[in-house]
Structure 1
Amino acid sequence: MRQTLITLIISFLFPVLGYCQQIKKDTIKVFYLAGQSNMEGYGYNSDLPKSLKQPFKNVYIFHGNSVPDGDAKGGFGKWEILQPGHGVGFSSDSQNNNLSNRFGVELSFAKKLQEYYPNEKIAIIKYARGGTSIDSLAAGEFGSWEPDYKGLNGINQYDHFLTTLKEALNTKDINADGKEDVLIPCGVIWMQGESDAAYTEAIATNYYNHLKRMMDLFRASLRADDLPVVIGKISDSWNDQDGKVWDYGELVQYAQEKYVKTDKNAKIIRNTRYYKYSDKWHYDSEGYIDLGKKFAEAIHQLNINK
């Protein structure tokens, strides 16, 4: 009788142990990077220091395919180890990531985060597209993030963001180590506003309302109403015939400052005013490296203060 009982207990226990092993999970901090070209990244991989010129252990990136409004292929991607090549020119079809010879803020951002979270895994979700505005009236040929904008075929940049997020979060094991990953949203990094500063005074004046709504929607999509947000303040190279590249840049800058002043879980990076440019629109490689560090410092501070 006793032997029979032991046999029954063992036969019940082994499946339970096996199940417990199967449901063991990894918790990974995830950060979302979004915006237009200075988030997309125009730094040259050849300018990178050795510390950033290699794959990052324990840092993973899902980079959504960047396309114009109306293109159904927007947002597709594949989780991979972070390495140089996630700047302008990157593309993905969800099966293969095609790295470019450019980088953005993601490398120095990850490097700095590793100092704050040693021995922890970090995940980055990125979707950015050069030239895009929030206001649909400033979309031009590049695209609009305005959620209600129908655009071409009813698809806009916000839709590409949603696809990126859905595809990234649908992957249960992002590093393929056999453990299910639980991604914990830890912040949104937003570098955008130049296009909204380039058209009319009315568009630039309305930037605060558009920015607030955009960040509210990002937070809702990531299911965290108090999710930290860091804004990169737009700047001007002053390399244009009339001097200013962004004719209404001060209005957008004011809106960005107003946003972080009225949102206790937001910060702004102002160092952009000191960066050098590789052309009249984009920072040089050194600027992207510094901006990534500053983004990491700010988002870490916001998470400490939550």
Structure 2
Amino acid sequence: MKTYRVVRLTFACYLLIAWTWGFSGSAWADSYDIYLLAGQSNMDGRGQVSELTLSQRRPLSNAIIYYRNPPRSSDGWKPLAPGFSIPPKYKGGFPSPTFGPEIGFANAILQAAPHQKIALIKGSKGGTSLRVDWNPGESGKPETQGECYRNFCETIRLATEDLKRQNHDFHIQGLLWHQGEADKNSNPETYQERFHVLVDRIKKEVGVDDLPVVVGEVFDNGKRDKVRTALQAIGNSGPPFGFVSSQGTKTWDEGTHFDAASQLLLGQRYADAVLRLKK
């Protein structure tokens, strides 16, 4: 327990230093590439921060995140580091003890373009379905829309307005999607139709008609063949869609939530897919 407190304190110090000297204190306008991250628990992230090295826990340079999972949020833009996730029954603040694919993703994107600044808008919630929670409903009629869809659109609006207030320029470069466990019994064609409706609505919300979209594959526990088939069909259908395989990954529980090493690997694969689409 004492070691855990020391690690948390050290990590908090890193965040404080980065926040003091980084994004919020900047007097100059920057240009950011924005990536949208959405889905359920494996996008929110259940990889254990405790399994990362001290170096891996440090905030990334040139990367910020706006995380919102109502009623919890990052309270504005923060330097990107592991810990923007809300695991079940967690009541504490940020950084939390878990992370998602955003760390491996950001590291890989920045390695490819080290002088570019990136901004991640993350809206994800465990146990949520495409059928209900992410249903975009009818445009202009919030009562017909799923809670996660409404929250995600609101998160994008709040995050981009915050950048504008600080005179930063930005371009939305892609959507990363990792979801499907809650829709494991959906017909593959039905899932695909619902997902394309969601993507079309998000494109209209952000005003990017050719938005690259990368979907991640849920872990194969032998009971998700339908949704895995749907995700593979979407991701391998060609631009603007890309696919991230879960092959070679591991879970820390009984076949659902990726462990820390697998989250880093998936993040790298998301970045590879995005870079291929952008080319």
TM-score for both structures, normalised by structure 1: 0.73
State how many pairs are aligned.
Answer: 248
Contact in 2 for aligned 1:233/1:268 (Cα 8 Å): yes
Deviates more, 1:208-217 or 1:42-51: 42-51
CA RMSD of aligned residues (A): 2.8
**Which of 60, 84, 87 is the equivalent residue of 1:86?**
84
Match of 1:190 in 2: 177
Pairwise CA distance, 1:154: 6.9
Deviates more, 1:250-259 or 1:34-43: 250-259
Pairwise CA distance, 1:48: 1.0
Point out the structure with max Rg over C-alpha: 1
Structure 1: gaps spanning 5 or more residues: 1-22, 68-72, 91-95, 137-143, 239-243
Per-residue CA distance 1:230-270 (angstroms, 9 max, x = gap): 1101222x3xxxxx4x3xx2222222222234342111011
1:126-205 correspondence runs (5 A): 126-136=122-132, 144-148=133-137, 156-172=147-163, 180-197=167-184, 200-202=185-187, 204-205=188-189
Pairwise CA distance, 1:77: 3.7
**Which of 228, 250, 254 is the equivalent residue of 2:229?**
254
Q: Tell me, what secondary structure is at the counterpart of 1:268?
A: strand
**Which of 266, 273, 276 is the equivalent residue of 2:241?**
266
In structure 1, what is the Cα distance between the partners aligned to 2:186 and 2:120?
A: 35
In structure 2, what is the Cα distance between the partners aligned to 1:269 and 1:154?
A: 28
Q: Report whether the alignment pairs 1:113 with 2:104.
A: no
Structure 2: gaps spanning 5 or more residues: 1-26
1:261/1:294 Cα in 2 relative to 1: closer, same or farther (>3 Å)? closer
1:1-306 correspondence runs (5 A): 25-64=29-68, 66-67=69-70, 73=71, 77-89=75-87, 98-136=94-132, 144-148=133-137, 156-172=147-163, 180-197=167-184, 200-202=185-187, 204-236=188-220, 238=221, 244=222, 246=223, 249-270=224-245, 272-280=246-254, 281-304=256-279
Per-residue CA distance 1:153-192 (angstroms, 9 max, x = gap): 9761100101111110111368xxxx61111011110001
Pairwise CA distance, 1:152: 8.6
Contact in 2 for aligned 1:53/1:84 (Cα 8 Å): yes
Per-residue CA distance 1:130-164 (angstroms, 9 max, x = gap): 1101112xxxxxxx111229999976110010111
TM-score for both structures, normalised by structure 2: 0.80
Per-residue CA distance 1:25-79 (angstroms, 9 max, x = gap): 4221111111000101011111113442101122110001x24xxxxx4777410
